Structure 1
């Protein structure tokens, strides 16, 4: 019989909190059960397996970041929007390192399509409208921004910038300035330089 007060949402929240404390890779059904003071079998009355638990944390993280990004982007355009979106991801990673890692967890195609993941792409496309990029340049720019934001944040989280003379915040600002410049000055495909 399922223990009172334990449900899939509570398990997901507990797993997300645990991910931030000990790392997403260390989150297991047993660890969540211990945190909640229940036996392992009680956990599986609400979720199918450990993978489902990790998927649920990934979905939660994607949703939280999408909500924060939407709020940060409201009323912004151009470079202001670019910086707001980038900072949303970086700030989220600093505040919720385990959840941020979970947001990069591989989802099957159906789950990914139903997640908040497409909202992230839509918000990125919305901010790119301020740069007047046609397709396929816009798709390339979505990939460039996602790769740059998440690559930088992942390297920073791993401590890659800790022992360098240049401050990580200064490099982050330089990166965003460079992205803005590249997007504003990208040659159109119908121009002779393209």
Structure 2
């Protein structure tokens, strides 16, 4: 059987699969070359270096997550949209732990400028607009939601919730409700 030709897409997809199976730290040019049954120098025609390879995995993950989140929040607003967005992230992190891990690293300029990053950002922006949060405050609200998602999903992934009651699912639902309350009252001033 003839091997399909290498392309940037096939190299990055292989790296993403490798990350899901073994963790992002195991994604190296030589590991990807072994999976593809080629010599490492053959990859340099498709990815510049290890940083570009890992950025490619991040861009792939952002695009996949943007698609899932967009489908999940379509036609929803408020608490329903927030829960759908959060569930889409959680489901993705569980299904693709290495790709999710790639989203937890400092990204290069190619990631930041990518269409996939913009699409991913638009999904959360749509949810926050549904709460009436001013554009000037959206960066803060985005950081709040991102901190919740990244913190909870990381702790869940490493098993931090496995040894105590209640189940993580109970906390997940409760914390999304609390996050909804905070976002719904974003502009309420504390007079104390």
Same topology, TM > 0.5: yes
- Taking structure 1 as the reference length, the TM-score comes to 0.90
For residues 54-75 of structure 1, what are the alpha-carbon distances to aligned partners after superposition, in whole Å with 9 as ceiling and x for unaligned? 1111110011101111111111
Residue 159 of structure 2 is aligned to residue 186 of structure 1? no
Identify the residue that residue 107 of structure 2 maps to in structure 1.
Answer: 107
Identify the residue that residue 78 of structure 1 maps to in structure 2.
Answer: 78
Contact 1:55 1:105 in 2 (8 A): no
- Runs of 4+ in structure 1 displaced over 6 angstroms? none
Stretch deviating more after TM superposition (157-166 or 86-95): 157-166
For residues 141-163 of structure 1, what are the alpha-carbon distances to aligned partners after superposition, in whole Å with 9 as ceiling and x for unaligned? 11111111111111111211111
For residues 74-101 of structure 1, what are the alpha-carbon distances to aligned partners after superposition, in whole Å with 9 as ceiling and x for unaligned? 1111100000100111100000000011
For residues 111-160 of structure 1, what are the alpha-carbon distances to aligned partners after superposition, in whole Å with 9 as ceiling and x for unaligned? 40224223232221211222222243333211111111111111111211
1:17 counterpart SS class: helix
Deviation at 1:167, TM superposition (A): 0.3
Instruction: Return the alpha-carbon distance in structure 2 between the equivalents of residues 75 and 112 of structure 1.
Output: 28
Identify the residue that residue 138 of structure 2 maps to in structure 1.
Answer: 138
Residue 23 of structure 2 is aligned to residue 23 of structure 1? yes
Contact 1:15 1:57 in 2 (8 A): yes
Instruction: Return the alpha-carbon distance in structure 2 between the equivalents of residues 102 and 187 of structure 1.
Output: 34
Contact 2:55 2:110 in 1 (8 A): no
Residue 58 of structure 2 is aligned to residue 62 of structure 1? no
Identify the residue that residue 176 of structure 1 maps to in structure 2.
Answer: 176
Structure 2 alignment gaps of length 5 or more: none
For residues 5-26 of structure 1, what are the alpha-carbon distances to aligned partners after superposition, in whole Å with 9 as ceiling and x for unaligned? 1111111111110100000111
Structure 1 alignment gaps of length 5 or more: none
Q: How does 1:79-94 map to 2 (within 5 A)?
A: 79-94=79-94
Instruction: Return the alpha-carbon distance in structure 2 between the equivalents of residues 160 and 60 of structure 1.
Output: 28
1:44 counterpart SS class: helix
Contact 2:63 2:120 in 1 (8 A): no
Contact 2:55 2:108 in 1 (8 A): no
